């Protein structure tokens, strides 16, 4: 069953801790993206990657880090430097890098406790 | 940078009525405009998209119109049904590759039987 999978679905973090959100796709898509969704603010781009070992900052990259060691995987680390990490995080992938449909994962809801 | 504004933030209609959601964008070079539907607790999914060389596109009960001069595009849903209830996001692509999308804040549509 092809698709894009995020895990875990729910994640709780203590203040000062780093946490890593997983995103895996078996669609053979080149590009992958991380978005943050807050109520009333739509989706904001955190990081994106066109190919393996390459990634670019989005509009709200501060306090986040990513890696792209494999085509199928694009994990996001929320560091302690992110001052307001509680949010819903969505990973997406596209087959190309120009004007193509984005396929989203089910999302991870991160809560700082 | 690109900015996408979406209105209204909430929309309530009776089953069978039409619903219209409007978006404006700021970067005249944007050339791809998708619409995503996100049902409660689910991932966003593409429902229709339009490219800048087309003024209108239809798919059954859904249509999108684009006015490049005014830099706005709209989603039209006719004969609404309760299963149309969801949050709808418009987006505009940033030219220059990477399929970078800037999303509107979303419209919560409620269709009442």
Cα-Cα-Cα-Cα dihedral sign, residues B84, A88, B44, B4? positive
% of chain A beyond a pLDDT of 70: 97
With contact defined as beta carbons under 8 Å apart, do A47 and A61 qualify? yes
Distance (Å) from the alpha carbon of A14 to chain B's nearest alpha carbon: 24
% of chain A beyond a pLDDT of 90: 74
Instruction: Report CA B32 to chain centroid distance, whole Å.
Output: 12
Q: Is the pLDDT of residue B83 over 60?
A: yes
Q: Give the residue with greater pLDDT, B52 vs B61.
A: B61
Cis before B23? omega within 30: no
Residue A1's pLDDT is what?
Answer: 52
Pairing relationship of beta strands B86-93 and B101-103 according to DSSP bridges? antiparallel
Interface of A with B (CB under 8 A): 31, 33, 35, 40-45, 48, 50, 56, 58-59, 90, 94, 96-102, 104-107
Report how far apart, in Å, the C-alpha atoms of B35 and of each of A70, B32, B66, B90 are. 29, 10, 12, 5
Contacts of B100 in chain A (CB under 8 A): 45, 48, 58
Cis before A8? omega within 30: yes
- Other Cβ atoms closer than 10 A to B21: 23
Residue B98's pLDDT is what?
Answer: 67
- pLDDT 10s digits, A14-61: 988 999 999 999 999 999 999 999 987 789 999 999 899 999 999 899
Conformation bin of residue A28: beta by default, left when phi > 0, alpha when psi is -120 to 50:
left
């Amino acid at each position: 069953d092809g698709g894009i999978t995020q895990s875990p679905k729910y994640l709780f973090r203590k203040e000062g801790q780093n946490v890593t959100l997983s995103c895996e796709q078996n669609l053979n898509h080149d590009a992958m993206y991380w978005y943050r969704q807050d109520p009333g603010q739509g989706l904001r781009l955190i990081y994106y990657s066109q190919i393996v070992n390459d990634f670019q900052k989005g509009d709200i990259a501060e306090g986040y880090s990513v890696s792209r060691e494999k085509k199928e995987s694009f994990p996001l680390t929320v560091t302690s430097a992110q001052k307001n990490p509680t949010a819903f995080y969505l990973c997406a992938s596209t087959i190309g890098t120009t004007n193509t449909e984005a396929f989203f994962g089910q999302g991870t809801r991160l809560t700082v406790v | 940078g690109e900015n996408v504004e979406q209105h209204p933030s909430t929309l309530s209609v009776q089953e069978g009525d039409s619903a219209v959601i409007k978006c404006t964008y700021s970067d005249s070079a944007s050339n791809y405009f998708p619409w995503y539907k996100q049902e409660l607790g689910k991932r966003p999914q593409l429902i229709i998209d339009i490219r800048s060389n087309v003024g209108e596109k239809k798919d059954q009960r859904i249509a999108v119109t684009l006015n490049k001069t005014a830099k706005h595009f709209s989603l039209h849903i006719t004969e609404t049904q309760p299963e149309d209830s969801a949050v709808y996001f418009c987006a505009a692509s940033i030219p220059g590759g990477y399929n970078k999308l800037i999303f509107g804040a979303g419209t919560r549509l409620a269709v009442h039987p």
